[in-house]
Amino acid sequence: MGINLSMLPFFDWCHERGALRAPVVALGSQELHESETEIRTFASAHGYSTLSRELTVRGLFRDRYSVTDYVDVDINEHAQVKLDLNAPLPAVLHGSAATVMNVGTAEHVFDIARVFRSIHELARVGATIIHFAPISWYEHGFVNFNPVLFRAVARANRYRLLAEAFYYTDAAASGPGDACPRVRMTFDGTRFTSEQRAIADAFFDSPLPVRTLYMVAYEKPLAAEFVVPYDDESNEMLTISSIQAARATLLDGPFRHQGGHAWSVAIPDLEHLADHRTGPTHSTMVVLEDGRPLGARHAIHDDIRQVGFGRYSHWTDYLIFSTSDNSDPNVNGREYRFLFEES
């Protein structure tokens, strides 16, 4: 459990956009992984007096991000607040954090579901939730993670994606400076970057780089009880083959913003197949995002605007929809297509 200085670009991104705010609650007793000499050299170069004195993550956050209220929670004696992360979160801590950090901690806790529930409970409305999770670490903790887990938790609990990145060393690095892990941003707050497609293609066809971390930040926008996600994406995919997806009709943008998370596109030629007042579930349209079905169809339009997360409605002469993570479909780099299920 700890932070390398080379991870700071992700925290910097969050801070620059107002998404790293006090009070900060960090799961696990966080440490800086560099040597004392390296930390002091870094602190001196940046004029960080608290970091130079304390050599701690708390000191780094105070100097770099002006975070004056930082605590870490763990079962060991090093944490400021002693807490068993396998146990229910004490009620006094509910809603206590404007930023919750799970930086290399959840994989060390046996009851992972409890960890995600506690993170949700710690976070107040509008709080930022930051995860750094291992996806290819050998002999480290109980588990490695799949990004699918974080997306599923976010979708079930209506979190808003703020940033996403991967942190690893490029196996093809040649020079000494290149042979160091670095943050590769795949979602920059408004759109998925070119890194996202390159990393997806590389990771799908090749072994993962060793000691890769998945980094992601979400906003918790609503006051609601934690919802346990289900891995139903694969079940959805069973009904849509890759051949069907390839033959699906492309939805041409630009998509018109309809407020909140809703976007629309006119498809007047398909009005006879659409939902309407006397047939609110008439349409068999399936909307695909990069070949994968979006969420609930025949959705109430206010739910599409206010909740989103893939809800959509093929209504009369248009389609109103939301993306899987409530991003802007005009700039998120994804392709949207549709097809009709056979009756």
Tell me how many domains the chain contains: 2
Residue type, 265: V
Write the CB contacts of 136 (distance below 8 Å, at least 6 apart in sequence). Answer: 144, 168, 208, 209, 210, 211, 212
Domain shared by 165 and 251, yes or no: no
**CATH number of the domain that 53 lies in?**
3.40.50.150
Write the CB contacts of 203 (distance below 8 Å, at least 6 apart in sequence). Answer: none
> What residues of the chain score a pLDDT lower than 70?
171-179, 231-246, 342-343
Domain shared by 137 and 74, yes or no: yes
Inside any domain, residue 225:
no
Identify whether the C-beta of residue 98 lies closer than 8 Å to the C-beta of residue 24. yes
* Single residue among 191, 219, 247 that ends a domain in this structure: 219
The DSSP 8-state label assigned to residue 169 in this structure reads -
Domain shared by 26 and 127, yes or no: yes
Identify whether the C-beta of residue 294 lies closer than 8 Å to the C-beta of residue 309. no
CA–CA separation, 335 and 156 (whole Å) = 23
Inside any domain, residue 323:
yes
- In this prediction, residue 241 carries a pLDDT of 57
Inside any domain, residue 224:
no
Domain shared by 124 and 261, yes or no: no
Domain shared by 130 and 197, yes or no: yes
Identify whether the C-beta of residue 62 lies closer than 8 Å to the C-beta of residue 71. no
Look up the pTM and report it: 0.71
Domain shared by 287 and 215, yes or no: no
- In this prediction, residue 176 carries a pLDDT of 52
Inside any domain, residue 99:
yes
CA–CA separation, 102 and 324 (whole Å) = 23
- In this prediction, residue 50 carries a pLDDT of 96
- In this prediction, residue 57 carries a pLDDT of 95
pLDDT (tens digit, 9 = 90+) per residue, 269-299? 999 999 999 988 899 999 998 887 887 789 8
Q: CB burial class (10 A; 0-12, 13-18, 19+) of residue 217?
A: buried
Expressed as residue numbers, the domain containing 166 is 2-219
C-alpha dist (Å) from residue 277 to 44, 227, 271, 282, 298: 68, 32, 13, 10, 12
C-alpha dist (Å) from residue 111 to 85, 104, 114, 220, 329: 8, 15, 5, 22, 36
Identify whether the C-beta of residue 71 lies closer than 8 Å to the C-beta of residue 94. no
